Structure 1
């Protein structure tokens, strides 16, 4: 999975097209999403006392779409420093004011963002056989054929015992401790401020019996063959990830989080259509975009995980 996504010729490193050509995220759906994040960033800025410089770091930045949207909405007024963290080269046409690097800067005073990054942090998938053995699942990149591999190791067993304890014969489990480590390491770079991860996921009480690993290409769901031609993604074990950094956290569904930040998807009043038809049409379009962002069967099914580091945020999510 790691080589297929991030190795030479990998999906995120070697493709001539953009990842956005293959799948749709909240960032691509509407600028309302970036606007909501900017309101959260402003709350962090206020809690920090409006420092001389506020860092906004987007890990797994794709082609910089979120940072460009934040800048377009006003997050570039002298004090804000925007930085994308991505293994791919700097995208052509990205505004010069946005920094680009392959690793996280530290220390960060400000906001660390990870929107649909954790689902692409590579992990192993294992399968429980009829005798109860838990064996790694191997996939041939050329044919897509699956076969059982060696038994999982002690670290995997330790993680499963705590976070995926009810696996039965025939079940597939996604061993999530690499995501826990990745997120804890990312949060550790924040000196003061907040760290926010947004992604699809599940909790210990509702782990999926057949796992969630899948692929996306050209806007369609496809088999998760690790050949570099497609996105490979698996849902996040949120309770496990949240426990790693050791900081207070809040977890909300995207629907609830966006509503708390002023994005509710409500239709504009019909009276507005009579008094200002153009304003009504604009508001109607915004309501449609908000509805997509908050749809519980779509993007609204994401969870938001927010850690507070040296600050207390009130009136946010």
Structure 2
């Protein structure tokens, strides 16, 4: 077996967003994320109606008649489709679907499909269960009490401890997910902080909302949170 090792962040980036990755490959995931797991977007039209109401309130607060809706991690456009159907009369919406996958067939032609949030728009940026899919590195405490990056073996997913965590990543751990006991693990969330800051910074004016799972600093799970779904399991 070839011994090729990489960090968790790089491994997850390839598995999720590479050319043959879960979110991009029509062969691996022909129905998109909805073929494997449900979010509030897929569960009920009530969620889209609530977002439509929030969009209308945002437009009213901004005093504009044409408002942008930026759906970050748009999947196959399910939320945008639902919001457009529920938008109050008289409000003109410019919808953007931000997604690495190709534009799905049959999508409402009003929806602008892009790989990055548009810059300089005014309205609502909505990221539903997106931040948990921004790849991060994993750290584990060794027998000497040193937090080290966890490395992944490319062919089979085996793991080993790599070099110590240093620099900005170490500072992030110390502040947000301190580790001390050998065997404890953490996901270094700094890339998610930076991704959210970039997304929020794309707005000229308006509201940015992230909907996702979370836990507070004082109640971190000792072995991390990484979970995957395939075929609903």
TM more than 0.5: yes
Q: How many residues align?
A: 219
Equivalent pair of 2:70/2:96 in contact (CA under 8 Å): yes
> Is the contact made by 2:65 and 2:92 (CA closer than 8 Å) also made in structure 1?
yes
Task: Tell whether the 8 Å contact from 1:87 to 1:102 is kept in structure 2 after alignment.
Answer: yes
CA contact (8 A) 1:167 1:173 kept: no
Q: Which whole-Å CA distance do the structure 1 matches of 2:98 and 2:90 have between them?
A: 21
1:97 aligns with 2:103: no
Partner secondary structure for residue 89 of structure 1 = coil
Q: SS at 1:187's partner residue?
A: helix
1:161 maps to which of 171, 174, 178: 174
- Report the TM-score when normalising by structure 1: 0.67
Deviation at 1:15, TM superposition (A): 3.4
| Structure 1 segment 54-203 matched on structure 2, within 5 A | 54-74=67-87, 79-203=92-216
Query: What is the rounded CA distance, in whole Å, between the counterparts of 1:127 and 1:58 in structure 2?
Result: 34
- Distance in structure 2 (CA, Å) of the matches to 1:54 and 1:140: 47
- Structure 1 Cα separation of the partners of residues 88 and 105 of structure 2: 20
Q: String of CA shifts for 1:263-298, please: whole Å, max 9, x gaps.
A: xxxxxxxxxxxxxxxxxxxxxxxxxxxxxxxxxxxx
* CA separation of 1:75 and 1:98: change in aligned 2, threshold 3 A: farther
1:108 CA drift (Å): 1.8
In 2: Cα distance, 1:202 partner to 1:115 partner: 17
User: Retained in 2: the 8 A contact 1:61–1:86?
Assistant: yes
CA RMSD of aligned residues (A): 1.4
Question: Equivalent residue for 2:6?
Answer: none
Contiguous gaps of at least 5 residues in structure 2 = 1-11
2:220 matches 1:215: no
Contact 2:122 2:206 in 1 (8 A): yes
CA contact (8 A) 2:59 2:66 kept: no
- 8 A contact 1:167–1:209 mirrored in 2: no
Counterpart CA distance in 1 for 2:119 and 2:140 is 38
Q: Answer whether contact 2:68 2:122 (CA < 8 A) is retained.
A: yes
From 48, 58, 78, the counterpart of 1:44: 58
Instruction: State the match for 2:33 in structure 1.
Output: 19
1:70 CA displacement: 0.6
Which residue of 35, 40, 46 corresponds with 1:32?
46
TM-score by length of 2: 0.90
Residue number in structure 2 paired with 1:10: 21
Shift of 1:77: 5.3
Given that 2:169 and 2:188 are in contact with CA atoms closer than 8 Å, whether structure 1 keeps it comes out as yes
Structure 1: 5+ residue runs without aligned partners?
221-317
CA 1:217 to 1:52, structure 2 compared with 1: closer, same or farther past 3 Å?
A: same
User: What SS is found at the alignment partner of 2:94?
Assistant: strand
